[in-house]
Structure 1
Amino acid sequence: MGWRVPCARKEKGSTGFGGFVSMRHAPTEASRALWNRRVEPLRLPVGAVCVFLATADFLLGQTILLASIELYHRAFGVRPPDIWDSICLSVTAGLLLVAFMTARGAYTVSGILDDHCRIKTLISGWLFVFFSILWLAFLTKTTSTFSRGSLTLAFAVGFPTLLPAHAVLARGLKRLLAAEKLVLRTVYLFYSGVPGKEQGIISKLRQQGIAVCGVSNIENDDGTIAARSVHAAAAAAQAAFRNGSYGAVYLFCSWDQRKLIDRILEEMSRLPLPIYLFADAYIDRILAGSPLHTGWQRAFEVQRIPLRPAERLLKRLFDIAVASLLLLFLCPLMALVACAIALENGRPVLFRQTRRGFGGKPFNIYKFRSMTVQENGTQIRQAQRNDARVTRLGRILRRSNIDELPQLFNVLRGEMSLVGPRPHAIAHDDTYSVIIASYAYRHHVKPGLTGWAQINGFRGETKELWRMEKRVEHDLWYIKSWSMLLDIKIIWKTALLVFSDRNVY
């Protein structure tokens, strides 16, 4: 059992955060004096932060609309609309933006700290605002009141204005939370598990603006419920509530300890507080999947389909468009390389080798020939530093990744993608699938010309097993975390690494 939190350094006698006192470890006089010298963190309710951010978005949305209308009409010397009409429009835009952002959870702590979610929500919110304004104008027959130019200007400058403002606010909030200078809520903690690990949980909660005012460690070493321990823990929690109110109770224990959970809920039923049961590492992986409602029961997706149909279509269209453009621009270079290979080593110019693709389906991968051998059997030796099999021209082609360019045809044929796990020779697949349990999951998406593992340094020869394990780990992270922006990021970083990667021989 365990929770995904880093273990904090445990200082003997420390009172912790926000007056935290453990049932097992009473604070010493020295620790009290040290705590008193610390600067008290700023305490704000979560609602105050939400209201502040929502107010900021409302004012920004208003200002963008009003300023765009004024600037456009002054620049072109056109008579602006009535000032009250402009104010009504700007207020409507601000309210629509705030309503959308609130509905999408943008003003929660997790929504603010998640950069990817914040950017996605801002884009969606600003699009929603303008589509709603156009629809309202159509319904009220007021489309002629405001010029299309002023609204287009407002739409164009809105997102570049909102994004930096949100980034500044998020960065400030992150710094305050990381420095433990901001408290958004106070809770009481029940913990049953490995002694000492509760300190890691407390440390993680601090960084989310959650102060732990007290903790009860429940002894449950032999798997049986210690009734006295639970009763004493609940009594301590009730006493802490009477002395200084907190807003919720957090319960950390393994979900298979059902009797313990029921006993804690029974003991704590006297307090009018919400009680949250946190998932351990195993349950957390299950709950991370999408829920399925069948009408009589709920299920959770324990293995996710790598890409939804719409995502596969988007990725495929992106592959076709980019691969076609690259082939168009690189065609002269590829023709020159083919002639150089033919002059140095004769034919064939291209090297074909069987690889496994999506779902383990075999296909022939194309490369410019860079070695004197054309291995494609059950025994394939990877290229090594100063490998005698690599030709003089081949060293240049492999170092600059030019030898991989024919794989753009594999992309157009649908056998590969621009980004994905790099395909290995079938002999290597057979070997590593036995040694590494999760190796086969790499075939859940199409293989790619480049991938997340490659831009993070796990490319080229895999002499040590740990290098292949890290490559597989990065590939699986990519499959679980796929997005169009991630593909673009990987392609960009690959372009920067073309001539600087030293792991290719």
Structure 2
Amino acid sequence: FNQNRDQITEQLFRLFDLLSITLSLLLSMWLYSTQFSQQYFIAGTLAMLCYLLISSATNIYHLQPGRDINHHSGLVIFSSILTFMILLIAASMTKTTADYSRVTITLWFFLMCLFLIAWRVSFRRIRLNWFKDKRNLKRVAIIGANDIGNQIATSIKENVSFGYQFKGFFDDRKESDERTAKNLAGSIIGSFDDVVHSARNKEIDVLYIALPMAAEQRIITLLDKLSDSAIAVHIIPNFFIYNILHARWHNIGSYQALSIYDTPFYGAGSLLKKIEDMIIAAFILLLIIIPMLLIALAIKLTSPGPVIFKQKRYGINGKELIIYKFRSMTTCDDGRAVKQAEKNDPRITPLGAFLRRTSMDELPQFVNVLQGTMSVVGPRPHAVAHNEEYRRQIGGYMLRHLVKPGITGWAQINGFRGETKELQLMKQRIKYDLDYIRNWSLMWDIKIIIQTIFKGFINKNAY
């Protein structure tokens, strides 16, 4: 039912986007007194088609409550830029560029971006205002007062845009029981037996089951009883079940096996990833070659030492590789004892601080990509010493080396970049890396690159 509702909402979003594209074109023509013609009709139709295809590929219409509006705005602008690039190429190939007013087309682009973002901002504000009235919120409860349930409860309470009012936990354990998760995000409002009673009496609207799969029989019993009520029920899988659900089948003779730990880059996927890396790296290097030369000159003039800093890192399959960076420190660490850069680190030069803050020290790694040792998108490579340290403390750490390391990644655009002092933060970074490996797609790579452009370069944790 929720899926059908989301599909209807996505179709409405597409309709609003088409209206925005049409209205922005008509308004730009009116503002510059441009006469409507068949050429503009063709351009408008092509723009709508291209924008819908591009925005669908970048998951603009994939509804995720709580997602930052800046994220949506970035995807909208990128999709608009790509759409107009296609229009320009099409006009050049058909030799019809003279049929269009440059001023009108420019106005159309900016108005289109404005309209597409404006209606999304308006929708978000209306939605938030609607949920301020508790009568419009769905009452939600969680079965299982454990760590996972507590994390879900905290997320619900922190995100009003979910449209949920958290009522509490159902658990047979008491709040005073030492086995119960500490600092619960809500109170225990009843036992497992009370769940069905509350559901049938319409005291709750949505239930999340956060019990371990070891409690399979209890879950089955609960689901059977809850089927006699009109509430939405969701199961939160644990890590093991999540891996199985996202695993692919692997044939070995007449048998089939589930690939729990495996690289996503095999067959056509491997070729597609290589082509993506070569094209993007070559294109970006052409764009940044002059800035890179200027940075190299600035480094040479401001501090003694080499321009390029080479360091050993672990690459695909755990093999060592040499990565390139613009030197940002007065001394270069390598080997088994590497001290992570810290805030106000005396080793960092003034120019180096700027390069690290803006990630421009990593530009030479596009050469690594062309060499085939790195990828544009993938888990960031850590120093060898850090690898050896964290692989002993974090389960599954080395699984990130099933793929090539990347210049940017899913963890980095989610804020896990730069200095990582706490083990828990590194665990979160690894979680994002493994999520990327499990769910890789070309469109996801494009989305990560887009988000890197808008929020991945500058980070307060990069010293």
TM-score, length-normalised on structure 2? 0.57
Task: Determine the structure 1 residue equivalent to 2:134.
Answer: 181
| Distance in 1 between residues matched to 2:6 and 2:196, nearest whole Å | 32
The structural deviation recorded for 1:278 is: 1.6
| SS of residue paired to 1:415 | coil
| Distance in 2 between residues matched to 1:385 and 1:119, nearest whole Å | 29
- Range with bigger deviation, 310-319 or 356-365: 310-319
| Distance in 2 between residues matched to 1:492 and 1:60, nearest whole Å | 21
Q: Structure 1 residues 384 and 274, CA, compared in 2 at 3 Å: closer, same or farther?
A: closer
Post-superposition Cα deviations, 1:39-86, rounded to whole Å, max 9, x if no partner, equal: xxxxxx9999998996686477457536745863795564779xxxx9
Question: What are the equivalent positions in structure 2 for 1:100-499 lying under 5 Å apart?
Answer: 106=61, 110=64, 156=109, 157-158=111-112, 160-177=114-131, 179=132, 181=134, 183=136, 185=138, 191=143, 201=153, 204=156, 207=160, 208-210=162-164, 234=196, 237-238=199-200, 240=201, 253-268=211-226, 271=228, 273=230, 276-282=233-239, 285-286=242-243, 289=246, 302-303=260-261, 305=263, 309=270, 310=272, 313-335=275-297, 337-338=299-300, 352-366=310-324, 395-396=349-350, 398-401=352-355, 407=365, 409-417=367-375, 423-447=381-405, 459=418, 466-467=421-422, 470-471=425-426, 473-474=428-429, 476-477=431-432, 480=435, 483-487=445-449, 489-490=451-452, 496=458
TM-score, length-normalised on structure 1? 0.53
| Distance in 2 between residues matched to 1:80 and 1:368, nearest whole Å | 53
**Contact 2:416–2:425 under 8 Å retained in 1:** no
**Contact 2:139–2:205 under 8 Å retained in 1:** yes
Q: Which runs of 5+ in 1 are unaligned?
A: 1-44, 132-146, 222-228
Post-superposition Cα deviations, 1:296-349, rounded to whole Å, max 9, x if no partner, equal: x999875574675445643443233223432333325525645777xx57xx77
Post-superposition Cα deviations, 1:360-391, rounded to whole Å, max 9, x if no partner, equal: 22223446678898776556677899999x6x
The structural deviation recorded for 1:409 is: 3.7
| SS of residue paired to 2:313 | strand
Task: State the Cα RMSD in Å.
Answer: 6.1
| Distance in 2 between residues matched to 1:264 and 1:282, nearest whole Å | 21
| Distance in 1 between residues matched to 2:298 and 2:26, nearest whole Å | 55
- Structure 1 residue identity aligned to 2:281: D
Q: Which runs of 5+ in 2 are unaligned?
A: 87-98, 178-190, 437-443
**Contact 2:281–2:369 under 8 Å retained in 1:** yes
**Contact 1:190–1:215 under 8 Å retained in 2:** yes
| Distance in 2 between residues matched to 1:231 and 1:386, nearest whole Å | 57
Post-superposition Cα deviations, 1:380-439, rounded to whole Å, max 9, x if no partner, equal: 677899999x6xxx8456444487665554344233456665544434533443344444
Aligned residues: percent identity? 21
**Contact 2:74–2:454 under 8 Å retained in 1:** no
Post-superposition Cα deviations, 1:188-223, rounded to whole Å, max 9, x if no partner, equal: x6835569x7897499389433468998655799xx
- Structure 2 residue identity aligned to 1:164: A
Q: Structure 1 residues 470 and 182, CA, compared in 2 at 3 Å: closer, same or farther?
A: same
- Structure 1 residue identity aligned to 2:134: K
